[in-house]
Structure 1
Amino acid sequence: MSTRIADVIVPEVFNPYVIERTAELSALVRCGIVVRDNELDSLAKAGGRLINMPYWKDLNGDDEVLDDNGALTPGKITAGQDVAALLMRGKAWSVNDLAKALSGDDPMKAIGDLVAEYWAKQRQKTLLAILKGVFSSSTMSGNIHDISSLEGDLAKINGSSFIDAKTKLGDASDKLTAVAMHSTVFAELEKQNLIQYIPNSQGVVDFPSYLGRKVIVDDGCPFEGGVYTTYLFGAGAIGEGNGEAPVPTETDRDSLAGEDILINRQHFLLHPRGIKFTDSSVAKSSPSNTELANEANWSRVYENKNIRIVAFKHKI
């Protein structure tokens, strides 16, 4: 008798394995852009489609000169509120898709690796949809460096224009530690001999680097009308929290068709810190990637330089 999905999948073991393995496979996590946060895990499990995250605003106002005859004037400490959307997603696969994995020595691990790889790719796709919506919002104009309308070489990415882009954060620009770009942009920088391959302490090149910043290559980075968008990130710019669907993993069988089915559901947060999800245009209980890419659903709440993301629009 052939191996069946229900014979090898143990949900209590499978669910945490897929979450941890997804993080291991995610380039965004490995380069430090996305950071899993225990507090966000708790918030993602607490229920509700919107997650409220209050924060204290920076203190402002000039200091005062101390005087024996005068009292200090108290300033106010004020709070703001960041808001994230709980992303609820799922996918089902039939045994035909998983037949090779079922034939392995450790079929549950093999299937878990396939599922984790799938979710790693989907989360990266979801983040790029979020960034599209975020940087379409008028509230984010201070974090955009757009040279695409200039003439000739002035419109192109190079060392000088990249430095201008990172300087959008002013004295916080050194916090930008990674960059995501289209493969065509990456190839152009390779031709300019600006991409470096520096091994880590184990002699392995985890990521290529550009001007000292780790590079992620993804053709999901926007390319419209000859204009490319390259994203610069600081460590932890994106917060991640993993919740738990009521039934994260289950199996089913279509006896007439002779097919086993694996169903996997995930509840998670993937949120650019400091940019509130407004929930202005969402049709169902959780936003789709198309809705995440809608500018109406985003509004900046942090000061510009405290948001560790810059969008750089350019040509090559």
Structure 2
Amino acid sequence: MKHKGLKLNLQLFASSTTKIADVIQPEVFTPYVVNKTMELSELIQSGIAEHDKEFDALASGPNTLIHMPFWNDLTGEVEIMDDDGETVPGKITTGQDIARKLAFVKSFGANALAGHLAGDDPMRVIADRFADYWNRTYQKVLLSTLDGVFASTTMKEKVYDITAELGNKAVLNSHSFLDAQQLMGDAKELLTAIMMHSEVENHLVKQDEIEVIRDSEGNVVMKTYKGKKVIVDDAMAYDPLTKSAEMYLFGRGAIAWGNGSDPKILETEVVRKGLSLAGEDILVNRKLSILHPRGVKFTESSVAGKFPTLDELENGLNFQRVYEPKKVRIVKFLFKLENE
């Protein structure tokens, strides 16, 4: 990536007098971090999260609650034609999905970044590090959100839990996975990706159930299970004592992802602490976004501040399913890896 007006002086970068403010151009840095985060995100690359300009516009709006109306399916019994009488028109009705705007901020001091400033484009290096950070953060935010979504009593029809079964009936295998997938009914072909703990992936690898797709140079491009892309994250629940675990099955576009823009709030800041003996620089990056499981509205039942915390996202009282079950393109599957 080229940055206009960025002049590199490697001797300066290697010295202790380097200032982040000398190499960061906020108007370039901010959009680059957003774009790089999207590029790195497995949620985006797998198709689980759908990101487009409409969601960006919603995240940029003035409201913290974002209303997304939708049309319900047509219902009613068909009528029989006759040469007498009139048809009785049915009505098409609407529903209301509601997403919650999220707001995050993170800052890093220059000392934490100083080791990356020699021998490379410092803006790119710093921006890449920040993009990696936000990528991990948003995956964590999604898992907190899903904890809350599936803690809602309205989502019971989307949970397949076999942990209380006896023997092999409680264990993850091809049959139990297919049964979990069947919660989607005739819409099960919409499921395209799975998120699991690394111990679950390891269990499936031992059974030769994970297919690894490599490029021409032998690098791993993608892992799949039953034809679905595998995303591994150790933030997923796993109990090594009981060997109990969980996975999420996703359909394409199950999550709406929007990145807000507001130059007064979101512009990257480089703050120079002039009174500091070390002359420390602080790099501040802020985010306004939506990361919303489509069809499960945010109720705002338990939010104390202007924006929800991760703990509040995990509260089932804040979520209510508004789509028909099959139209919510997420299934939660709970199982064990071994017999007791």
Q: TM-score higher than 0.5 here?
A: yes
Q: Percent identity?
A: 49
Provide the residue aligned with 2:309 in structure 1: 288
Structure 2 alignment gaps of length 5 or more: 1-11
Distance 1:73 1:201 in 2: 62
Q: How many residues align?
A: 316
Contact map agreement 1:179 1:213 (CA 8 A) in 2: yes
| The one of 114, 119, 138 aligned to 2:129 | 114
Provide the residue aligned with 2:275 in structure 1: 256
Provide the residue aligned with 2:259 in structure 1: 242
Provide the residue aligned with 2:30 in structure 1: 15
Offset of residue 35 of structure 1:
1.3
Establish whether residue 24 from structure 1 lines up as the match of residue 42 from structure 2: no
Give the partner amino acid of 1:303: E
| The one of 24, 33, 49 aligned to 1:34 | 49
Alignment of 1:1-316 (within 5 A): 2-199=17-214, 205-223=220-238, 226-245=243-262, 246-248=264-266, 249-257=268-276, 258-316=279-337
Distance 2:281 2:219 in 1: 40
CA distance 1:200–1:308, shift in 2 (3 Å) = farther
Q: CA-atom RMSD, angstroms?
A: 1.5
Provide the residue aligned with 2:3 in structure 1: none
Tell me the secondary structure at the aligned position of residue 162 of structure 1.
Answer: helix
What do the CA deviations read for 1:211-247 (whole angstroms, capped 9, x no partner)?
Answer: 1110001111123564211000001100100102433
Tell me the secondary structure at the aligned position of residue 291 of structure 2.
Answer: strand
Distance 2:228 2:160 in 1: 18
Offset of residue 28 of structure 1:
1.0
What do the CA deviations read for 1:93-141 (whole angstroms, capped 9, x no partner)?
Answer: 0001111233342111111000000000000000000000101111001
Tell me the secondary structure at the aligned position of residue 220 of structure 2.
Answer: coil
Give the partner amino acid of 1:250: E
What do the CA deviations read for 1:122-162 (whole angstroms, capped 9, x no partner)?
Answer: 00000000000101111001111110100111101111100
Contact map agreement 1:3 1:103 (CA 8 A) in 2: no
Offset of residue 48 of structure 1:
1.2
Offset of residue 298 of structure 1:
0.4
Structure 1 alignment gaps of length 5 or more: none
Contact map agreement 1:104 1:110 (CA 8 A) in 2: no
198-207 or 267-276, which deviates more: 198-207
Distance 1:59 1:38 in 2: 29
Offset of residue 276 of structure 1:
0.3
Distance 2:125 2:230 in 1: 29
CA distance 1:69–1:239, shift in 2 (3 Å) = same
Give the partner amino acid of 2:319: W
Tell me the secondary structure at the aligned position of residue 182 of structure 2.
Answer: helix
Distance 1:75 1:136 in 2: 35
Offset of residue 198 of structure 1:
2.4
CA distance 1:201–1:74, shift in 2 (3 Å) = farther
